[in-house]
Amino acid sequence: MVKLLIGHKGSGKTKQMIDLANDKVEESNGSVIFINKNHRLMYDLSHKIRVICMEDFEYITNSDEYIGFIYGIISSDHDIETMFIDSILKHADVTLGDLPEFIDRIKKISKNYDIEFVVSLSAEKEEMIGVDFTDCEILN
């Protein structure tokens, strides 16, 4: 399942995502991963959550490399239950134009590996042209 938190900057998506991640890790039997642009949120998240800061991986520069990075995370931990990706449009030069393929690819990863994805992005649904929202849940 892919869950999306959408809305413009300042609409509270990151705070909501932090709360969702902290709640999820308390009820989870598997690993919870939180991918963020920088180290800023590290202390807002439970110590049980694996926080990955994309600033540490500056050579991931497009959506293909980002998907490969996700596969690398999965290959290193077969117990991942949920993966949170905060502000995807600020990572690896992912653009609104990349979203249809990116969302389709994480839906396939979710199905193949039984991983729930929660992705936030600073855009409205109407701006996400070409995105197939089938099998996606909009959380806000």
* 31-56 pLDDT per residue, tens: 999 999 988 888 899 999 999 999 99
* 104-135 pLDDT per residue, tens: 999 999 999 999 999 999 998 999 999 999 99
Confidence (pTM): 0.94
pLDDT computed for residue 109 by the predictor: 98
Angle made by CA atoms 22, 84, 124, in degrees to the nearest 5: 115
Distance CA 21, CA 2 (A): 14
Tokens representing 115 are 């991983």
